[in-house]
Amino acid sequence: MVSIKKIITRDKISTILFLIIPIVLVIIFIYICIIWNVVVSFSDWDGLRPSYDFKGFGQYQKLFTNEIFLTSLWNNIVLILIFVPGSLVMGLLLAILLDQKVRKENVFKLIYLLPFTLSFVVTGFLWRWMYNVRVGVLNTLLESIGLGFFRNDWIQNVDWAMFWVCVVLIWQYSGYMMLIFLAGIRSIPESQVMAAAVDGASGFQMYYRIIIPQLKAPIFTGFVLLLVFALKAFDLIFILTGGGPGYTTEILPLTMYKEVFRKKHFSYGSAIATILFLLIMIVVIPYLYKTYRREK
């Protein structure tokens, strides 16, 4: 018989521990926490004292009759409709520009990617200062070049605040999308590009007919990533606008935060978190399924 010492070597023990510890941590801090959150959403926990009395779908019924929740949900939809296609288009344009064999390409990559490397808290403070009505750099610049009539209230404007929040997010994520698209463009065989050039395709036609149709995978990947970012863009909006003016820029994660940590409505906030989780799963599961099919 083979001795146990020969079967269980030090290397195998290290490998097992290396795999088991992260798995246990993921199970505890992700999956068990998700289950616990769902359980709380069906309870009557309201206040600092825990309570797990089952109340059914009462909190969920309250959600869809609450004007603040419906406004936050609509703001998330607006964020998706503006931020996602805006970032995809800007990222694609930047990738096409860098694909023109420009000099100092790495310098331009660094410049375009720099916003994404910033903390969202830093970005929030930076743009809050830039959007400031009195001392903000945007209004000051407009005044200095004789375009003071274009002065704006920016994020203080109820009708346009959400749009200017989307502009900040597009500015931050376009460089990241650029990298994804540039990698996709550079992965296209050179022989196809040369054959298209021989057939007379050049410039706009080359990208429109040959290159962009082959970027379906990068476009789909970028689309899913941006959707997830749009659903959980809490930190930037929290610093930039705090959800204001009023509730015009409040999104679901921000509403959940206020309900749980300010008002102590734990079961109600857990219901919002569950809805947000389901929305993210609606986006992520098709992506994982498509990725699995592609790899298989």
Q: What is the pLDDT of residue 290?
A: 80
80 inside domain:
yes
Same domain membership, residue 125 and residue 18: no
Same domain membership, residue 222 and residue 90: yes
Q: Return the half-sphere exposure (C-beta side, CA atoms, 13 A cut-off) of residue 279.
A: 18
239 inside domain:
yes
Tens of pLDDT along 174-226? Answer: 999 999 999 999 888 888 877 877 776 677 778 888 888 889 889 988 998 99
Specify the 3-state DSSP secondary structure of 161.
Answer: helix
The total number of structural domains in the chain stands at: 2
| Owner of token pair 């009505």 | 133
Tens of pLDDT along 264-277? Answer: 999 999 999 999 99
Q: What is the pLDDT of residue 1?
A: 45
Same domain membership, residue 239 and residue 179: yes
Query: Measured between alpha carbons, how far is 97 from 108 in angstroms, rounded to an integer?
Result: 10
pLDDT at residue 97 above 50?
yes
CATH number at residue 279: 1.10.3720.10
pLDDT at residue 88 above 70?
yes
- Transcribe 27-80 into DSSP letters: IIIIIIHHHHHHHHHTS---SSS------TTHHHHHHTT-HHHHHHHHHHHHHH
Same domain membership, residue 205 and residue 94: yes
Same domain membership, residue 158 and residue 114: yes
Q: What is the pLDDT of residue 11?
A: 66
49 inside domain:
no
Domain extent for 8? 1-41
Query: Measured between alpha carbons, how far is 258 from 269 in angstroms, rounded to an integer?
Result: 8
In the predicted model, what is the mean pLDDT of the chain?
88
